Amino acid sequence: MLAALLLAGAASQPRKAEAAPTFAKGADISWVAGMEAQGNKWKDKNGVQRDILDILKNDYQINSARIRVWVNPSGSYTNGYLNKERAAALAKRAKAAGMSVMLTLHYSDSWADPGQQTKPAAWAGYTFQQLMDAVWNWTREVMTTMQANGVTPDWVQIGNETNNGMLWNDGKASLSMQNYAWLVNTGNNAVKSISSGTKTIVHLANGYDNAVFVWNIGGLIANGATFDMIGMSLYPSASDWSSKVTQTISNANDMIARYGKPIMVTEIGMDYNQPAAAKSFVADIKTKIRNLSGGKGAGVFYWEPEATPGYNGGYNKGAWQADMKPTVALEGFLN
């Protein structure tokens, strides 16, 4: 941490991010690059083949793109691929399409989520100090790679679905909330050293689970962690989405009351074969997040809507059909 703070002081004057939308209506588009490399081409609802980002922005008012970054990923189009260079190329394309950009830093070589927060292989033997230094250096490398491509992200997640911390076992929250907090601080400080205006996010799954959020976010803050926003995931079913939204909004308002931080729902999704329910769900959570107390609702992102049925061995919560035409799900973002 000391090394990170000293480096922060020695860093060149950080740039400011460009103005983010008042309310982000977003899509995680991370699979787009790999899907295109596999030959996929999307159509709009009229069956006209168009660029997927053009369809998202101009047909569904999607104004923001979320892109994940892994440390040393495999070449797999589905479970790897997005190193910092490829992520920057996709971010550049999103910006050219008129979208704001959120980065999700997984601090892993592959998926990081509540069930796995595996250190990058290159970092496996590091001491905790070396781990913090690696987080600092890699975060800055990602940010400078983005800026070299003309992109200053509006938001950066420090980790992904870190319900029990990150970079296990050193940063496992149930083992050491302090270590987890220091890693979040290191990532936050690294982002700010490059772009002082970029907002940092701590993101947890199961946005309806207030107890987990109080334990995790409260624990971070009690241990001195600094970050700007609270991120949530929510993947309900067609039968329980209304109650799950109610619980998530209650949790969001509790987070605002306790900690005063804006709320961003950075992942939502529902089965593609329940498109009418998905549209209603998107419209409802969008409206209710936008109307959170104190104007603290910052946005909602659909996770990988461009995915087709069964993509990557069985993912079925995208918003495109096998004929490459969209379902009605994303119409919930309109207005």
Rounded Cα gap, residues 302 and 158, in angstroms: 19
* Rounded CA Rg of the chain: 19
Taking each helix axis from N to C terminus, what angle separates 241-259 and 210-222, rounded to the nearest 10 degrees?
20
Q: In degrees to the nearest 10, what's the CA dihedral of 315, 317, 323, 328?
A: 180
Q: Report the alpha-carbon distance of residue 106 to residue 52 in Å, rounded.
A: 24
- Options 161, 304, 306, 331, the catalytic residue: 161
E-assigned strand segments in 184-318:
199-204, 229-234, 263-268, 297-303
User: Mutual orientation of helices 241-259 and 275-290 as an angle, nearest 10°?
Assistant: 20
Has 141 been annotated as catalytic?
no
18 assigned to active site: no
Q: Which of 85, 267, 306, 331 is catalytic?
A: 267
Please work out, in degrees rounded to the nearest 5, the angle formed at the alpha carbon of residue 305 by the alpha carbons of 117 and 147: 65
Per-residue buried b or exposed e for 160-172, using 16+ beta carbons within 10 Å of the residue's own CB: bbbbbbbbbebbb
> Catalytic amino acids?
161, 267
